[in-house]
Structure 1
Amino acid sequence: MNDEVRITLRLPTDLHAWLVEQAKSARRSLNSEIVYRLDGQRSATAPQDGSA
């Protein structure tokens, strides 16, 4: 099992509502949706090996 850290996160109301809708349409929890999007962004911005 992965180690996890709990945080308190404050979001603007409209962003929260949008994330809730995205999570519902993807059949994920709000937490899973946030993790999914952050992890995807991290992967997209990670430096690629040998690309210099």
Structure 2
Amino acid sequence: MDEETKITLRLPADLHRWLTAQAKSARRSLNSEIVHRLEIQRDTVAADTESP
């Protein structure tokens, strides 16, 4: 990650609880979990748009 941007993010409480549990299970911080999931989704979308 070359650059970082700080944002304020509002999440529904149930989504926050779920993400927190997922992060704990993966031994990541909540921030790292969110970034990880967004990067996976971005890569999936990019791969889908590159496929013929």
**So what's the TM-score if we normalise by structure 2?**
0.89
1:10 Cα deviation after fit: 0.0
Aligned to 1:19: 19
For the residue of structure 2 that corresponds to 1:18, the secondary structure is helix
1:2 Cα deviation after fit: 1.4
**So what's the TM-score if we normalise by structure 1?**
0.89
The CA distance in 2 between the partners of 1:3 and 1:20, in whole Å, is: 24
Taking only aligned residues, the RMSD between alpha carbons, in angstroms, comes to 1.1
Aligned to 1:34: 34
Identity among equivalent positions (%) equals 66
Unaligned runs of 5+ in 2: none
Query: Relative to total residues, which structure has the larger helix share, 1 or 2?
Result: 2
One-letter identity of the residue aligned with 2:39: D
Unaligned runs of 5+ in 1: none
